[in-house]
Amino acid sequence: MSKPKLMIIVGSIREGRSGLSIAKWAEEVALADGRFDVDFADLKEIALPLMDEPNHPSMQQYTKQHTKDWAARVEATDAFLFVFPEYNHSYSPAIKNALDYLVREWDRKAVGFINWGGNSGGTRAQAALRPVVAMLGMVMTHGQVEINFPWGQIEEGTFVPNDQQTAVLQSQLDELLKIDSAISSLRG
Ligand SMILES: Cc1cc2nc3c(=O)[nH]c(=O)nc-3n(C[C@H](O)[C@H](O)[C@H](O)COP(=O)(O)O)c2cc1C
């Protein structure tokens, strides 16, 4: 039987971002876990323009190659880990833009979160994202990995997690798997 596909979405795209190191850690843990096929989706590399389709995405009448490629990639995914920072008490614009391109491809898919910031650990970013993914029909894990001041844990480009962060990430993967097995038959 094939494994469910997990997409790890790197939600910060600025020069000098912490997000890439944190997402690489998530990828490493997910690959070691072995229960998913892992797709690493770096929104900096994917470089979607600001949403530029003429039709409402629910019609799936995509006119741009970048949209068709993104739609196919998301459609092929069962579960998502959004990896994103807090910017001005909300989540990063790259995440919103990537979400806004599509509707149906997100529907009835599992989603978990890794967020970070200063003192808050990105709590406000994560709380702001939840109603958006709920509107798109995604089913959320009820926890999330929260990281305070992650830049203190990045050594030469590598995020060095503590035991608690790794344990919470592992429980996110457990939950994503359970949610996916409960809802995958509802798609289509
Ligand atoms: C435009 C901007 C706004 C920010 N606003 C917040 C904020 O509201 N709360 C917070 O905890 N950190 C805030 N920060 C700090 C970021 O959480 C921190 O810079 C983090 O490393 C950003 O992730 P990145 O390096 O992957 O871009 C902000 C950073 C930027 C660049």
- Please name the residue whose Cα sits nearest to atom 19 of ligand 1: 117
Q: Is 121 in the pocket of ligand 1 (CB under 6 A)?
A: no
Domain boundaries, the chain: 5-186
**Would you state the pLDDT for residue 188?**
78
Instruction: List, for residues 99-108, the tens digit of each pLDDT value.
Output: 999 999 999 9
Which helix (H) or strand (E) is 8 found in, with range? strand 5-10
Q: Is 11 in the pocket of ligand 1 (CB under 6 A)?
A: no
d(CA 141, CA 157): 28
CATH of domain 5-186: 3.40.50.360
- Please name the residue whose Cα sits nearest to atom 31 of ligand 1: 87
What is the CA(149)–ligand 1 centre distance, in A?
10
d(CA 145, CA 123): 10
What is the CA(85)–ligand 1 centre distance, in A?
6
**Would you state the pLDDT for residue 177?**
98
- Please name the residue whose Cα sits nearest to atom 30 of ligand 1: 87
Q: Is 12 in the pocket of ligand 1 (CB under 6 A)?
A: yes
What is the CA(135)–ligand 1 centre distance, in A?
25
**Would you state the pLDDT for residue 53?**
98
**Would you state the pLDDT for residue 161?**
98
Mean pLDDT of 113-122: 96
Structure tokens at 147: 């990281």
Instruction: List, for residues 35-71, the tens digit of each pLDDT value.
Output: 999 999 999 999 999 999 999 999 999 999 999 999 9
Beta carbons within 8 Å of 168's beta carbon, 6+ residues apart: 143, 144, 145
**Would you state the pLDDT for residue 158?**
98
**Would you state the pLDDT for residue 185?**
96
* pLDDT surpasses 80 at 115: yes
Could you give the percent of the chain with pLDDT greater than 70? Answer: 100
State CA 76 to chain mean position distance. Answer: 14
* pLDDT surpasses 90 at 133: yes
Could you give the percent of the chain with pLDDT greater than 90? Answer: 97
Q: Are 102 and 68 in contact (CB under 8 A)?
A: no
